[in-house]
Amino acid sequence: MSYLELFTSQLNVFGGMQKRFEEAKYVVFGVPFDATSTYRSGARFAPQAIRQASLNIESYSFRSGVDFEDLAVHDAGDLDVSLEAAKTVDMIRLVVEEILAAGKMPVALGGEHTVTLGTAKGLGAKAGKTAIVSFDAHLDLRRELMGSTLSHTSFMQLISEDVKPAKIVEVGTRSASKEELAYAKKAGVEFFTSQEIIKQGSLLIGEQLRDKLLPYDNLYLTVDMDVLDPAFAPAVQNPEPEGISTTDLLDLACALCDGRVLGFDVVENAPVYDQGISVVAAAKIIFEMLCQLEKNRQL
């Protein structure tokens, strides 16, 4: 069985350019899941909204000098998710395993950040040599919240303990509990705060990130849109003031888009809370990251 059969077809495809799965280097798929949301829900509507926004962005990247139209991208559609988080996480795992086994890069459109637990599990044996880099306002290292041990607030601790990646680095942090800070210290989870990035500059922090990640064979990148200040992305599920700018995020993320990247995701958009600003930012981030990855693959 192909687990890509678990997807529903979509009217729009990301970027408006569709290659056959067999021809593609990059496989985009949506995960319309937000069942564990604890504040504002609505991330389940994001994959289609991001696709719609992507149709109205010009395809040339001035950052990389690459045109998105030249990329071999296949949009598989949206995963037919379960309302149960554990089942959805397992379906994502199976899909990512299949995409990687075919020699292609998975690009997930969330959905809430629990999605990343599924993509991380899908890395399989490669996880032990992979550094996971999370751009996020929150550490998401809780043991449980409101009686649930599997949610967008705890998934990163589950990745640390169940997936066991070689390293976890969080970027843009500005919201955490004492419990999470204690766990991060114990588990060796490192983080760069948004204040560090704002004061020192994204280019300098980007250099520090690259140096820190040099020892690792593989990278997996996850972008929670609440890493951005609400001025740049108001429509997220858990907005947090004192965030970074879209330019800062792109400087940092694109600095890591080299040949070691196995995949990435963009999560936590809740498009009902603005007039399209946040999903346009998400689409732009995906465009730029894919173009930078393509540029570095050609080097």
Distance CA 165, CA 128 (A): 5
* DSSP string of 105-168, one letter each residue: EEEEEESSTTHHHHHHHTTGGGGGGEEEEEE-SB----S-BTTBSSSTTTHHHHIIIII--SEE
Asked if pLDDT for residue 1 goes beyond 70, the answer is no
Query: How does pLDDT run across 196-243, given as a tens digit for each residue?
Result: 999 999 999 999 999 999 999 999 999 999 999 999 999 999 999 999
* Tens digits of residue pLDDT in 23-43: 999 999 999 999 999 889 999
**Which residues, 6 or more positions from 290, have their beta carbon under 8 angstroms from its beta carbon?**
26, 68, 71, 73, 107
pLDDT of residue 152: 92
The architecture CATH gives domain 3-298: 3-Layer(aba) Sandwich (3.40)
Q: Is the pLDDT of residue 66 over 90?
A: yes
Q: Rounded mean pLDDT of 55-73?
A: 96
Confidence of residue 161 (pLDDT cuts 50, 70, 90): very high
Cis upstream peptide for 263 (omega within 30°): no
The pLDDT score that the predictor gives to residue 136 is 98
Lowest mean pLDDT segment, chosen from 8-12, 21-25, 31-35, 81-85: 8-12
Mean pLDDT on 118-142: 97
